[in-house]
Chain A
Amino acid sequence: DTEVTQTPKHLVMGMTNKKSLKCEQHMGHRAMYWYKQKAKKPPELMFVYSYEKLSINESVPSRFSPECPNSSLLNLHLHALQPEDSALYLCASSQDQSAGGGYNEQFFGPGTRLTVL
Chain B
Amino acid sequence: AQKVTQAQTEISVVEKEDVTLDCVYETRDTTYYLFWYKQPPSGELVFLIRRNSFDEQNEISGRYSWNFQKSTSSFNFTITASQVVDSAVYFCALNNGANNLFFGTGTRLTVIP
The answer for the CA separation of A33 and B98 in the assembled complex, in Å, is 13
User: Residues of A within 8 Å of B, CB-based: how many?
Assistant: 28
B35 on interface, CB distance cutoff 8 Å: yes
In the complex, what distance in Å separates the CA atom of A102 from the CA atom of B47? 16
A107: chain B residues within 8 A (beta carbon)? 47
Stretch in contact with the other chain, from A13-21, A48-56, A63-71, A76-84: A48-56
What is the bound-complex CA distance between A56 and B32, given in angstroms? 19
On whether A102 and B95 interact (CB within 8 A), knowing A42-B103, A42-B104, A43-B103, the answer reads yes
Interface size class of B (residues with CB under 8 A): 20 to 34
Cβ proximity bits A101-112 to B, threshold 8 Å, 1 near / 0 not: 011111111110
Known: A42-B106, A43-B103. A108 touches B44 (CB 8 A): yes
SS class, residues of chain B in contact with chain A: loop
Known contacts A104-B50, A105-B35: does B99 contact A31 (CB below 8 Å)? yes
Quick one: which of A88, A90, A97 contacts B99, CB cutoff 8 A?
A: A97
Which of B45, B50, B95, B105 is close to A90, meaning CB atoms less than 8 Å apart? B45
Contacts of A106 in B (CB 8 A): 47, 101
**Contact indicator B95/A103 (Cβ below 8 Å):** yes
Contact check, B43 vs A88: say whether CB atoms are below 8 A apart. yes
Q: Nearest residue in A to B47 (C-beta to C-beta)?
A: A105
Are B99 and A94 in contact, with the CB atoms below 8 A?
Answer: yes
Return chain B residues, CB-CB under 8 Å to A108. 37, 44-47
9 nearest A-B pairs in the assembled complex, by CB-CB distance: A42-B103, A108-B45, A102-B97, A110-B44, A103-B33, A111-B43, A105-B47, A97-B99, A105-B50
* 17 pairs from A and B in contact (CB 8 Å cutoff): A31-B99, A40-B108, A42-B103, A42-B104, A43-B101, A48-B99, A50-B99, A55-B99, A97-B98, A97-B99, A102-B98, A102-B99, A103-B32, A103-B95, A103-B97, A105-B35, A110-B44
